[in-house]
Structure 1
Amino acid sequence: MSVRRWVRVLRGLTYLLAALVSGVATVLALPLLCLPGLARRWANAHRDRAARLIGTPLAPRPASRAAGRRAWADPATLRDLLWLPVHAITGVAFGMFTLLCVGNLVPATVATPLWWAFAPADRPRLFVDVPVPDWRTALTLGPLQIVLLLTVAYLVLPPLARAHARICLRVLSYSAAEQLADRVAVLTRTRADVLDAHGAELRRIERDLHDGTQARLVAIAMRLAVARGALSDNPRNEQFLGELLRDAHEGTEEAMAELREVIRTVYPPILTDRGLTGALTAVTARCGVPTRLDVGNLEAVPAAVEAVVYFTVAEALTNVTRHSRATMAGVRVSRAADRLSVVITDNGAGGADDRRGTGLAGIRRRVLALDGTTDVDSPAGGPTTITVKLPCGS
């Protein structure tokens, strides 16, 4: 009997006892749990717990897109509602068997050795209500009951817990058709967001070039034309020509600086010069809050993913500096297979919300453009954790 096996027994015991409690709670609160929103959260909690027991990584279930009366016709809601009676039956049945084993271990391991301390009418009984009239019975049947129940727990509880977990995942898992339909809906919504973001970005670049760089270049051209005319009219007018050429030179440098800023918003040159690690090092060094950077072995990362990671970290750290009142921040970038993970944390006041214009909506749009996910955990009082996961090829 290995230690690892007993750990699985204890995990199965804990899982089944929790299933018993939640099964009873399901029966008692059934009318309330039939509400679509509560049914979804209740089902997701059991699904996640079942996946942890089996060790099966699961993609998060999408939130129901239907509202009002239509929510009752949503296949996801129907699946959640189906789980309520299934769990009430299986959770109570499996849990009662577990409770029977555990409950009968107590008199065998604790009360039976102290048989002599009880009054005759109060002396403990063994499994299935077997009386213990004398010492021989107490010292013989007690250890046998312990061995029997421990053997049952060792052999039965882990597969019983896994069976309940598989039932849970079977009921709450999407069919292939439902997964495909949900995937199409997500991609359709993502495509619309990408097109909107792309159009807004093009308008911003056009406005920056039209109002800034183009205006300066027109002014430079006018000064050079005046200088050329002045030189033709009076070749000795050196002071006037010098002033015009100086203004044109300064305007050229300013126009080049503005043009570099516009280019930087399209694809940061620092990524080309220093790579993703060097670019993130520069961003964290410029942050107004002390920031710890941890970059793992990323291997080759597509340029589009590098740009999204760079802008995500830059925007998130800007939010930390402006809004969080944090004293410390951290950025961790790692890669597992074909997924790149970026985690930005701070110890600030929390309460980050997309609707408050803190840049989180822009981060979500950038990430969704590459079919990634963004998760924001920012309770009031902090801390704040932003987790971004992006596909980056195999």
Structure 2
Amino acid sequence: MSADPPSSQPTLSRRQLLGAGGFAALGAWYVRPSEFTDEQSLDSTVPDNAWPMAGRTPSRSGYAPASDAPTNEVRAVWQTDVGDPGFYLSATVRDDTVYTTTRNELVALDAERGTERWRFGKEFVQGGPVAIEGGACYSAGVSLYAVAGGRAEWKFKTTSSFSEILPVGNTIFIPARVGSSDGLVALDAGSGIPRWKATTEWIPLAYANDVLVGTGGSGVVVGLDAKTGEKLWELSRVGLPGNISSPLRFGPVIANGTLFGGTETLYAVDLQAGSVQWSADAVGPWMASDGDAVYRARDGHVVALNASDGSMRWETSANALTVVSGLAVTDDAIYVGVDSGVVALDTETGDELFAFRSDSTAGGGPPAVVGERVYVGIGETIVALEEA
């Protein structure tokens, strides 16, 4: 796999590139990264008071270790209607701002009060939002936009739609067709300028410890060098990496150097070697892990497995939960996005701690846990919950 930028491209400064047209919509330009960007950083840490992407961190583990989130009855601190999302509302949070998307817009809300700050966009939304320093990224039409204060900072235009957006440090990974060539593109988060492009089409799913996990189709996961795009290993198993073709994007998670993924069977894969450590019968698309346990959910129930060997810890009663849409986990509770609300379960026993359901008959989105609050989309409304 070749991931090196061509040497024939011109030498341009970042300022020159951005000044040429306001956006870094460079298409197939792949300039040597050392000539216009900061050195690539793959720092995957996330501020304590943030839930900037699906699964919270690039590992997609859904784990928020420093949290005072509610474990008893809750109340809605605020509820803000944002508009029709088309499918479900997801909330990402950073720098006291909640980001979400409707069918055609990126919307920013004040995280404390729920008041609307700004809206951006008119194209059909494909993926995101992902909160980055100073703003958010999302894909719409065939482009990736970086937006701050309601204005586009840069735009990377491709020739085909995509929904996967994975930020790691100062790099954003997307699967992109540029011209007639499919590939995995690593963009500079500050400018939208490509750092490198892998010529083989890999969809970026998760990242940890310098390994970018991707897939090239059903039954295959790959480990890639996140600095170059070169393939480190490839693993084929039925059901891997998960049901990522779903609009809810049921992808794998990484915790403590282990990748967990699969549909009917749950596989634990060594992240560095790409070898299967164990497998277990644990059906369900949604997962989260605190490193000690792996939590898996599907419509009806949640199971907890030991991360070390896949043995069962506990399982909720069948059909106790309906239309599960996502998981978030802290040291004390698992927050399950369900139809029209959120249910919290005890991490040790699986017992219900509280349940919040609105009067809406619309579906609920995955929860985001930040500080003392849980943010969740229900129908066309973002709701902020605190302990009552």
Scaled to the shorter chain, the TM-score interval is under 0.3
Task: Please say which structure displays the higher CA radius of gyration.
Answer: 1
TM-score by length of 2: 0.20
Which of the two has greater strand per residue?
2
TM-score between the two structures when normalised by the length of structure 1: 0.20
